[in-house]
């Protein structure tokens, strides 16, 4: 039996392929950077053909680097940047427009029109999402409205829509499979997460023909085959990146939660088979769907997480390597009363303020570079703590532990401060590639590489535990200062 599983991890800034064996050892990793295009302020695009070519190249290179034949690969799992929207010609397989990336804000006016139509509550109740330009539905409408002839061709089923997973599966199978999984469908703002089907009310409101939409499948099944030299390999697992990380962290039970520290931060809690409707600004979404059973999740997003460290490095030029932030943060015992609220593109959950802007406050004549760097580090943990507080209010259960992953989870100062400010134990795994690992798990379960989720739990290994040590009085004092600083950043930018 084939003992390898290949994970394709298509992210916002790169396409990666990681080859695992059946004991979760990483045999090879290959990565290609992905260009982003900014045709106007607030617009973000990518070339779908570059997404495809970089991902295909990384896949072949990962196999070659490990000297593994496709015949020895049991399955391919796919995980992807979510909400990014691609429309392509069914006959030619060519995109009709660039991919509109999840970060793009061009559809804010379409969002405003949906508000005027009174659809805010319907969207919340049906899709679990808040009405925002972040999601795919308004992006589909924008392309159909702005590409000549696209709407007529879409109505005839000649143009297809897909999130990045759909696009890759279509290309990998030579156009034989036009599908998506439920975790990605749940992020489109046109999918009913209760009925598990596209919502006709929202399709009418956005003038999106059903004929262009992919078939929605579970997150772990065989969708089609990739023909490679040496054999056909089944594509057998798909999940959006954050749900894949939740699964890769073995958060299989209600109450389990993980946070990914990347460019942004994404906190997800498994709420089991019960839909938990947030009263505190979080999203309700599908966590995973396997073997006919849906597990739901609460999700909170921090728009600027690790990106605040990149800002200090690239724009402020406080240091030349991101990893140096930890060194400088430890040079001072505290921030000297300085707070940095990195609301560079507004604030996500639980505030959802598109007009908030960055705020550096509490400066004195004695403020140093080190104080500002430490404040930036702490700002990541404060924002994650806001999400944890919102989840505790929604579920009635404060988290005792949090599984972490992503690039910034390597930062021990940040992880310890997160444990302290949130008063919970932080669990960092040995394998940090949890997004790819989740896709790998899903594909392996569908093809018999692993028997069940219990076997996967036995394989998961913890690297470091960070326990909270901060006194309650100090925690309350720091959080009061943070909340005061956030209040200064809200509703700053002019409304168009």
Q: Output the known binding site.
A: 12-14, 16, 82-83, 134, 241-242, 263, 306, 310, 407
CA–CA dist 375, 388 (Å, integer): 20
Tokens of 435: 């997004």
* Residues 158 and 147: beta-carbon distance below 8 Å: no
Tokens of 401: 């532990």
User: How many Cα atoms within 13 Å fall on the side-chain side of residue 433?
Assistant: 24
Tokens of 216: 């929605």
Known binding-site residue numbers for sn-glycerol 3-phosphate = 12, 82-83, 134, 241
Whole-number Cα distances in Å, 419 to 104, 334, 378, 466, 468: 33, 16, 11, 6, 5
Known binding-site residue numbers for ADP = 12, 16, 263, 306, 407
Residue matched to tokens 């507080």: 389
Tokens of 85: 């929207």
Known binding-site residue numbers for ATP = 12-14, 263, 306, 310, 407
Known binding-site residue numbers for glycerol = 82-83, 134, 241-242
Residue matched to tokens 């597990």: 295
**C-alpha R_g of the chain:** 22
Whole-number Cα distances in Å, 9 to 19, 430, 466: 11, 19, 28
Q: Is 55 exposed, middle or buried (0-12, 13-18, 19+ CB in 10 A)?
A: buried
* Residues 19 and 62: beta-carbon distance below 8 Å: yes
Close Cβ partners of 487 (under 8 Å, ≥ 6 residues apart) = none
Tokens of 81: 């940047």
Residue matched to tokens 């949906």: 114
């Amino acid at each position: 039996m084939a003992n390898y599983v290949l994970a394709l991890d298509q992210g916002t800034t790169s396409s990666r392929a990681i080859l695992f064996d059946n004991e979760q050892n990483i045999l090879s990793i290959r990565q290609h950077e992905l260009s982003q295009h900014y045709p106007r302020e607030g617009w973000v695009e990518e070339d779908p053909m570059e997404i495809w070519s970089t991902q295909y190249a990384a896949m072949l290179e990962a196999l070659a680097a490990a000297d593994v034949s496709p015949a020895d690969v049991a399955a391919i799992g796919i995980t992807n940047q979510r909400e990014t929207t691609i429309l392509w010609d069914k006959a030619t397989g060519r995109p009709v427009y660039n991919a509109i990336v999840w970060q793009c804000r061009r559809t804010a006016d379409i969002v405003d029109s949906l508000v005027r139509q009174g659809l805010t509550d319907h969207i919340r109740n049906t899709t679990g999402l808040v009405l925002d330009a972040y999601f795919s539905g308004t992006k589909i409408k924008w392309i159909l409205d702005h590409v000549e002839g696209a709407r007529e061709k879409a109505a005839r089923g000649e143009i297809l829509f897909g999130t990045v997973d759909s696009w890759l599966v279509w290309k990998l199978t030579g156009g034989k499979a036009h599908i998506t999984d439920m975790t990605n469908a749940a992020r489109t703002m046109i999918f009913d997460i209760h009925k598990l089907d596209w919502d006709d009310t929202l399709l009418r409101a956005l003038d999106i023909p059903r004929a262009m939409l992919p078939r929605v499948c579970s997150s772990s099944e065989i969708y089609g085959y990739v023909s490679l030299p040496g054999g056909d390999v089944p594509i057998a697992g798909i999940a959006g990146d954050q749900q894949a990380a939740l699964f890769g962290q073995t958060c299989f039970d209600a109450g389990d939660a993980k946070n990914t520290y990347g460019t942004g931060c994404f906190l997800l809690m498994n709420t089991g088979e019960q839909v938990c409707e947030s009263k505190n600004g979080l999203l309700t979404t599908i966590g995973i769907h396997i073997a006919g059973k849906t597990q739901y999740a609460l999700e909170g997003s921090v728009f600027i997480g690790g990106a605040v460290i990149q800002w200090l490095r690239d724009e402020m030029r406080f240091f030349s390597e991101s990893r140096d932030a930890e060194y400088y943060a430890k040079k001072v015992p505290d921030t000297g009363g300085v707070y940095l609220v990195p609301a560079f593109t507004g604030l996500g959950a639980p505030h959802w303020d598109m007009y908030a802007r960055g705020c550096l406050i509490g400066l004195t004549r004695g403020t140093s570079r080190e104080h500002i760097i430490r404040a930036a580090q702490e700002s990541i943990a404060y924002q994650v703590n806001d999400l944890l507080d919102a989840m505790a209010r929604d579920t009635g259960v404060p988290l005792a532990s949090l599984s972490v992953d992503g690039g910034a989870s390597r930062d021990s100062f940040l992880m310890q401060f997160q444990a302290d400010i949130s008063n919970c134990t932080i669990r960092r795994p040995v394998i940090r590639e949890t997004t790819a690992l989740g896709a790998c798990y899903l594909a392996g379960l569908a093809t018999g590489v692993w028997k069940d989720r219990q076997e996967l739990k036995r394989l998961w290994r913890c690297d470091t535990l960070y326990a909270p040590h901060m006194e309650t009085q100090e925690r309350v004092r720091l959080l009061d200062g943070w909340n005061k600083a956030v209040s200064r950043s809200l509703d700053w930018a002019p409304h168009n």
